[in-house]
Amino acid sequence: LIVHVDSPGGTVAGGESLHRALTRLSAVKPVVAVMDGLATSAGYMVAIGASRVVAQRSTITGSIGVILQSADVTGLLDRIGVNMEAIKSSPLKGVPSPFEPLTEEGREATKRLVEDMYDMFVEMVVDRRQLPREKVLALADGRVFTGRQAFESGLIDGIGGEREARLWLRSEHDIDDSLPLRDVDPRDPTAALLERLASSAVKALLSERLSLDGMISVWHPEY
C-alpha cells in the first residue's frame, strides 16, 4: 500500500486514529507513506504509522507538537454591554472558555492536558522511528523541517516519491515495480478500511481543521 500524505495536520484524535490504523496494517503488509508538499503535525503522525516514509527534498514536515487555542473576549463583551453567566458543577468545567478569564488553576489543568497529548506524540515518534527519546525531544519543539533535514535527522527513511516507494517495495519485498497501481476510491464498499481512513481524514482536515476550540496538532504559518 502506498499512502500519499499532503496535510498540515488536524485533530490529535484524528491523527491518532489514522496512525494506529496504518500501524496495524503495516504489521501485515508493507505500507509506504509518500509525503508530498506538506506533512506536518498530525500529518506527520499519520505518516510514521507506515513501514517506510519518504519525502521530497522540499517537503515541509515535522512540527511535532500539540496546541489548544482559546480567546478571552470578556473585555469586549463588557464594552458592548453583554454579561455572560455560567452555572457549572465545578470551577474547571468548560475551561478554557472565551467567556471567562483563565484562572491559574484552569491554565495549569489545560497545560497538563496539552503536555499529555504531546508526550503521546513523542512516544509515537520514538517507537516508530526507533530514535532515542532525548533526540526526539530535541526535534519535537514545534519546528518544521524540509524533507532533506528530516532525512538527516532520522524522522523519515528516504528522499523521493512514488517511484522510490515502488523501488523499495521491489528490493525489500519482491513486489514487481511494473505492477499496475490502482487508486482506491474510498466509496468502494470493498475498501471498508480505506473508507474509514478517508472519512477520518476529511473530518480532521476540513471541518475540524477550522475549529480553534479543540485539541489540534496542526501547522500553519499564520498561527
Contact at 8 Å (CB) between 74 and 101?
Answer: yes
Whole-angstrom Cα distance, residue 62 to residue 141?
Answer: 9
The kind and range of the H/E element at 61 are strand 60-62
* Residues belonging to the active site: 41, 93
Reading the block at residue 136, the C-alpha cell is: 526526539
The kind and range of the H/E element at 24 are helix 12-26
Q: 100-104 long-range CB contacts below 8 Å, 24 or more apart? A: 100/72, 100/74, 101/72, 101/74, 102/70, 102/72
Question: Is the sign of the CA dihedral 130, 135, 140, 143 positive or negative?
Answer: negative
Please, which residues have CB within 8 angstroms of residue 42's CB and are 6 or more apart in sequence? 7, 9, 10, 11, 12, 14, 15, 18, 204, 216, 217, 218
